[in-house]
A and B are shown apart, each in its own frame.
Chain A
Amino acid sequence: MKPQFDLHGKVALVTGASRGIGRQAAITFAEAGADVIVNYRSHTDEAEEVADRIRQEGRRAMVVQCNVADRASMEAMFAKAVETMGTLDIVVANAAYSVRQPLLGMDWDDFRRVLEVTQYGVFHTCQLAAQQMVRQFHSGRVGGKILIISSVHAERIQYTSAAYDMAKRSINHLGRTMATELAEYRINVNNLQPGWINTPGEIAFTSKEEMAKWAQSLLWKRLGTVQEIASSILYLCSSEADYFTGATITPDGGYILSHTLR
């Protein structure tokens, strides 16, 4: 039997979709036939470019600017998305934010902002997605995929990354909890933990030269690409992965196993 990654007739929403992993997921969904809602916070031109790519595939695209940490805006975005697109079948909670600082001497406002986006924002995204998918269940459209983009940091902590790492481990647990609560509606909730991926977000913390050097510390001797993560995302959001729920998948080139004492 040939694998089925066809998403024709599905509507997907991706948060943080203007750049990096979110952008590639949005484009990959469109290539597979889905209509896509592109959420972003800061990079309007990039978000519009992603929407253009989606339309080039012959799919509908909708761009919504909104900070995932802002509850009221999130509720408005979901309402508008459903009103415009009709349904919501796939939601990828991808948006994240990080400030690196040691715990000793940390600035609480920075710490809080990381939690607000990376933890609370994922809660908002998943809760609003679940509420819509349950409504759809009751009107006969059964199913739905909720995918949380977590991080290998959930399993291997990194010095100066406490808020981000805590948020990531916490949203894995949210995903597992929601899987137990949504199985009766046939909604799959899963977690994806990418390793170190070559994205614009990463360059904020490490220069390209530094990243090339650090890539040698990984078992796979290179960083991952957004395409490699997007293909895992497509798989988990396709009917091929209907039996996955509450699972955590880790495409990381051996990142976790590469951690040793020096």
Chain B
Amino acid sequence: MERVARMSELKGKVAVVTGGAGGIGAAIVMKLAQAGADVVVCDCGVPNEAARVVEQVESLGRRAMAVLIDVTDRAAVEQMYADVVTAYGNVDIIVACAAVSSSRKVIDLTWEEAHRTIDVCQNGVVHTCQLAAMRMVQQVEDGRAPGRIVIIGSVHAEVPFSGAAPYNMAKVAINQFCEHLALELAPYHINVNTINPGWIDTPNEHRKFSEESLVDGARAIPWQRLGRPEEIAGIVQFLVGDNVSYMTGACIRADGAMLPALALHLPEENS
């Protein structure tokens, strides 16, 4: 009985997930669809992956559409929302998940690559959430239930990992953006919250790291493994569900105790 209720908790809701065609984003899309939502899969330059996720949502009996845009293109984000409202009527849930990163020390970065990371991970989140917020406020004024916004941050917002300055900068900025947006949307009871995932086992990580270093990395995490995209998606489902009504401007870290485990190490341990 409880399970049935949970399965239909988001029935009639329209969700937009940026970065929704792969990794954490795709897991979020599926989790929201399983909970009853119709889902817009927004991603950049991966039409096949986006189509596959859309198909999977439709196989659950929910509506889905793919929108292939770059979240740094503010006009394209606005157009996406206009199209979503035309197709589905409303925008109820926004999950800003799109991100890119580069691994280089500041002295070795080109401004182009630094800017690209900041533009996607920070400015893209601002466009995604702020443009949605404008519509959600109007929807509340029109009598619809308040929307929900979830921002996917990172443990990089809490720890300035070496070799990732632009990503660190962007993630900490959107952690704070969440507070600003929550403050402004509080009168409308639109919740805005952030999840800071730790090291999550996504296809991207397998492209970036050898299998051996992923195994080593997993061993260093107190939970003894990387996180799963579904585990982040589960927190998103919680944040957009009926159990959350008073939480806003908050940040949840999900990292298998990675951050509490940060410790000093003697140099020879690194070799």
Residues of A within 8 A of B (CB): 71, 102-106, 108, 111-112, 115, 119-120, 123-124, 126-127, 130-131, 134, 154, 157, 159, 162, 165-167, 169-174, 176-182, 246
Contact = CB atoms under 8 A, between A and B. Distances in A.
A23 B74 CA distance: 37
B106 A157 contact: no
A171 B166 CA distance: 10
A166 B106 contact: no
A170 B173 contact: yes
Contact of B173 (A71, A102, A166): A166
B130 A106 contact: yes
A120 B106 contact: no
A157 B160 contact: no
Contact of B114 (A106, A123, A134, A182): A123
Contact of A71 (B105, B111, B163, B175): B111
B161 A170 contact: no
A171 B169 contact: yes
Contacts of A124: 111
Given A106-B130, A170-B172, A157 B180 contact: yes
A115 to B, nearest CB: 7
Contacts of B123: 112, 115
Interface string B159-173: 011111110111011
B106 A165 contact: no
A124 B162 CA distance: 18
Contacts of A127: 106-107, 109, 111, 114
B183 to A, nearest CB: 6
Given A103-B180, A104-B184, A120-B115, A177 B165 contact: yes
B165 A174 contact: yes
A222 B57 CA distance: 59
B133 A103 contact: yes
B172 to A, nearest CB: 4
14 contacts: A103-B133, A103-B181, A104-B184, A115-B123, A127-B106, A157-B180, A159-B184, A162-B181, A166-B176, A167-B173, A170-B170, A170-B172, A173-B160, A173-B169
A153 to B, nearest CB: 9
Interface in B174-199: 174-177, 179-181, 183-185
Given A103-B184, A177-B161, A177-B165, A162 B106 contact: no
Interface in B195-220: none
A218 to B, nearest CB: 21
B172 A181 contact: no
Nearest to B130: A103
Contacts of B109: 127
A104 B173 contact: no
Contacts of A159: 183-184
Nearest to A123: B114
A104 B149 CA distance: 14
Contacts of A173: 157, 160, 165, 168-169, 172
Report which residue of B115, B172, B183 has the largest number of chain A beta carbons within 10 angstroms of its beta carbon.
Answer: B172
Nearest to A105: B134
Given A167-B173, A169-B173, A134 B107 contact: yes
Given A104-B185, A123-B169, 4 more contacts: A103-B181, A166-B180, A170-B122, A177-B168
